[in-house]
Amino acid sequence: MKNKIRLISSLLIVCLLITGCNGTITRDIRRDGYTVQSNKFTCSFFINKSKEENTTEKVKFLTANYIISETGNIYEINISGLYSNDMNCRKPGMSAYSNTPIINVPVVAILDQSIVKGSDGWFYYLDTNDAAARYTRVTSADKEYSLYKLLLAEADVVKVVTVNSNINSYWVLKKDGAIYNYILKKEDNTDKYVLTNKDAQPVISRNLYGSIIDFNYEGDSLGTYYRTQDKIITRKITNSKKCNKYVDIPCNYAEKSDAVLNEYKDRIIAFNGNTIITDYGRVFTAGS
């Protein structure tokens, strides 16, 4: 009987410690400028039910509507609501275009949140307004096909982000862990793009932050970030009190290693600057 009481007491203490630890993480991330969402994120593909389990996938890229795993699998997500499987994630269904090849190979690269490249070398639609076209192969009939080819065709490309659509400027993350600037233009009276500038030297080198595995660029906002294997770099306001109080004082931004997020990086399973998902199911979003 005494042994049973000791066991129950030990379990209660562990539960309290875990709950307290999770509460501390939630508090600190909120103080770091993020808002905790009321609902939890449930997804057995990425969150273990217990600490003894270690069967989940790892997140490579998080977008507003998708997770791409390190193995290249695509998962649809809905932060605010459940699917019929009682989770906030699910594997994609089939496209309405039955005569169009559906992506059934690992994803190896992504352009913004809309186009992915498969390990077979083909490009596929991901997040598009035409729901029927999702996960189907991009053909040369697409007016932007030459753009996708110029940005994604190289074998060492991992991720491409539009930096300035007015001048067709794109930042390209490669397997060497550096980011390069590509500038394209459309040939007169055609739908064909040509590469007008491809910097030999990276705009963000490994010497600056280390070897980058993920990034995004949204100008001066939390949406701009760089992630390496061991740290997260974010862009934040450095004079928030003054610039939020006085209309004649502009906000100053700086990129730096985020001490709070780095402290809990092993508890953060997914991050894209605007959204954080923890291994205990808490979701945080940028801003108030």
Q: What token pair was written down for 97?
A: 């275009």
Residue 132 near residue 97 (C-beta atoms within 8 A)? yes
Residue of 152, 91, 75, 164 lying closest to 119 (CA atoms): 152
Inter-residue contact 85 to 92 (CB < 8 Å): no
Who has greater pLDDT, 37 or 191? 37
Instruction: Please write the tens of the pLDDT for every residue from 112-162.
Output: 999 999 999 999 999 888 888 889 999 999 999 999 999 999 999 999 999
Contact 185, 250 (CB under 8 A): no
pLDDT score for 190:
81
pLDDT of residue 208: 94
Choose from 14-18, 89-93, 191-195, 264-268 the range with maximum mean pLDDT: 264-268
Query: Do residues 193 and 182 lie in contact, with contact meaning Cβ atoms separated by under 8 Å?
Result: no
In the three-class reduction of DSSP (H, G, I as helix; E, B as strand; rest coil), residue 96 is classed as coil
Read off the tokens for 184: 């394209």
Q: How many helices (H) and strands (E) does the chain have?
A: 5, 19
Residue 258 class from Cβ within 10 Å (0-12 exposed, 13-18 middle, 19+ buried)?
A: buried
The tens digit of pLDDT for each residue in 79-94 reads: 999 999 999 999 987 5
Lowest mean pLDDT among 124-128, 198-202, 257-261: 198-202
pLDDT for 12 beyond 50: no
Residue 111 has pLDDT above 70, yes or no: yes
Return the pLDDT at 19.
Answer: 45
pLDDT value at position 13? 45
